[in-house]
Each structure stands twice: as structure tokens, then as C-alpha cells.
Copies of this chain bind each other. A is one copy, B any other.
Amino acid sequence: MPEEPLTVQHLSESELLARIFPRLHHSPGVLLGPGDDAALIAAPDGRALISIDTQTQDQDFRLEWRNGYRTTGFDVGWKAAAQNLSDINAMGGSATSLVVSLTMPPETAVEWVEAFADGLTAAIVGLGASDCSVAGGDLGRGRELAVTVAVVGTLAGVAPVLRSGAKAGDVVAVSGTLGRAAAGWALLESDIQFDNLSSELRSLVVNQCRPMPPLAAGPLAARTGATAMMDISDGLLRDGSRLAGASNVILDFDPVALKTYAASLEPAAAVLGREAMRWVLGGGEDHGLLATFPAGIQLPQGFTAIGSVQAVVEPPGSGVRIAGQTADTVGWDHFAD
């Protein structure tokens, strides 16, 4: 008879924490880590960026997908860290610490929680945020798995890059991938079993489960004079229209530039009978950056021009266009249907 897996209801909170702590990365910016009522972290320039994000089972991820893939604790830890690190990146900052609240059913395997901690660490280190560490957290019970991460970051003396600074004449650029996570979601929700996917298609699933925000790009963009920036979490068109609205401008995307992103998704589109460009325009969760830069400057490393900023000259006002044509702001949630 196989041994029953050890579940969290068999351990006290302190026993569970004793299994988690050794798996976490440590950085010197955490002046006082877990063990007291609050952690103390360095905020060297006298300011701190802060953001919070929750992932809930069956809303943000499924434990088992239609194509047979099972989301691991490692995936959930990675994604929770990655999407929060991305929020700091999008302001031009670097993350210094995470605090993590994990709510789980009592029958959750202890192994799952250990893998979750490993995923947090792997994302922090693997994405190049090694000045960041988990400063504290909270464990609790609930009917469904839910992870909330709050992230703190530093701007290291530079001004934050807001959504509202784009000016007519600026270049629109992106860093990171577009549409890969959405293609991965479509594969996860398809009838084609994960085990039967080619390694090329599997890598799209990995992009959905373990996004790779380009964390060097945000601070570099801030130092290079980006006029506006944000994280692409809900899709290029939807997030682009938010940036356009905040800046009261029009973002006009170049379809030729976007086709390059679609090209790499054609194999998945062919297998699923879908249109790759819709993933590029509507797919979120790659957590790339959308930014605008003054015309004429050399774009910082990792950014690719995909369009230009234009002044609003007539109704319906600010928004996104593709080669001058109005584009529907279809985003990830319509897209996921």
C-alpha cells in the first residue's frame, strides 16, 4: 500500500515554516527577516515601491488542466513571484523583498508547499532579482488555494516611470515576449494531451505557468528616459489602451513589427486552429513591458519598436490603433473564452 502523503494538517505552523525557511533565498536588503511581527527592509533612497497581487485556484490557475497538465507548487510559487516582480519592473524599479500569504486546504501535501517555496526562490534567482528575498509571510487555511504576494522595491534614486507620460512623437516599444503565455493557456485548455506536445509547444505552456518578465529592462528604461511604461499583464491592446488613456494619446502599432511575434506562435495556432495574431494582441501574462521613448534616442537593450505615439485629434479620443485603424481592446478575459 502506498504511504499517505504528509499533508499540512499534520504539521503545526512552526513545523511547516521550518520546512519552508531553508528553501528561501536571502538578500542583505532584508534587515530583519521572519520571526517578529513585521520584517524590516532597507529603503535606501527613502522611498519604496509597493504592489500586491493574488492568484486563486480555478480563477488564475487550475490544479489540473484539460490537457492533463497538473500545476505544480513550483509553478504557483514561480508565477506569484514573477508577476509581482514585474509590477516593480514596470515602474523602473528593482524588487527588494516579498511578503507571501499562502492559504490552503488542510489536505494540501507538504511536498506541494515545499515546491511552492522552491518556485519562489527559483523565480527570484532565475529572473535576476537576487537582491530580493522573502521577508515574511502568513500561512492560513481556506477551501481553495490562494496566494497573495506583496512586493516592495527600490527606484535607486530615479523617478518612477508612470503610465501617464507618453507624448505625441514618442516611439512605442516592448520588451519580453508577446502572446506566448496566451498560446500556452490555449494549449492547456485544449484536448491535445500535454505529454503529446512537441517541446516547442510545451515551452509555450511553460511560459504560461512560469512567466519570464524581463527584469533588467525596467530600470534600464527608466535610466534611458522612458516617458511611460507598464507591465503587459492583460494583453497589448487592453494594456495599451490604459496607457493611452492615462497619457491622453493614441498608440499606433505597426502590424509588420507585430507579425514577428506572431510568427513564432504559428505552430501552436496551426495545431489549435487559432489565429496567432490574436494571442499577440490580446494575450496577457507574459509580463513583458510596454514603454514609450522620445523619438531619436537609441532604444535600451531588450526593447523593440512596435509603433508610435500620436496626438488625439478627434473623437473617440485616446486609444490604440493598428496602422491607423481602430483596434478593439480585446483582452485576456474575453480571449480566454
A135 in contact with B36 (CB, 8 Å): no
In A89-118, the 8 Å CB interface with B consists of 90-91, 93, 97, 99-101, 103
A49 to chain B, nearest CB (A): 4
B150 in contact with A56 (CB, 8 Å): no
B52 in contact with A43 (CB, 8 Å): no
Chain B residue, CB-CB nearest to A56: B142
Interface residues as binary, A27-66 with B (CB distance below 8 Å gives 1, 0 otherwise): 0000110011111111111111111111011111000000
A48 in contact with B59 (CB, 8 Å): no
Q: In terms of DSSP, what is the predominant structure of the interface of chain A? A: strand
B97 in contact with A35 (CB, 8 Å): no
A143 at the interface (CB under 8 A from B): yes
B150 in contact with A150 (CB, 8 Å): yes
Among B39, B93, B140, B246, which residue has its beta carbon within 8 angstroms of that of A51? Answer: B39
A328 at the interface (CB under 8 A from B): no
Q: How many copies of this chain are found per oligomer?
A: 2
Most-contacted residue by chain B among A37, A53, A88 (CB, 10 A): A37
A68 at the interface (CB under 8 A from B): no
A150 in contact with B42 (CB, 8 Å): no
B39 in contact with A50 (CB, 8 Å): yes
Chain B residue, CB-CB nearest to A41: B48
A46 in contact with B49 (CB, 8 Å): no
B52 in contact with A138 (CB, 8 Å): yes
In A228-256, the 8 Å CB interface with B consists of 230-231, 246
A214 at the interface (CB under 8 A from B): no
A167 at the interface (CB under 8 A from B): no
Interchain CA distance A262-B97 in the complex, whole Å: 42
Interchain CA distance A36-B151 in the complex, whole Å: 14
Which stretch in A152-160, A176-184, A278-286, A318-326 binds the other chain? A152-160
Most-contacted residue by chain B among A54, A56, A100 (CB, 10 A): A54
B97 in contact with A160 (CB, 8 Å): no
A295 to chain B, nearest CB (A): 24
* Residues of B close to A246: CB separation below 8 A: 35
> Can you report 20 residue pairs joining A to B where beta carbons are below 8 Å apart?
A36-B91, A36-B160, A36-B163, A37-B51, A37-B86, A38-B151, A38-B153, A39-B49, A40-B49, A40-B50, A40-B155, A43-B43, A46-B46, A48-B152, A50-B99, A51-B99, A52-B99, A52-B138, A52-B150, A143-B143
5 closest cross-chain pairs (CB), A and B: A150-B150, A43-B43, A37-B90, A38-B51, A148-B148
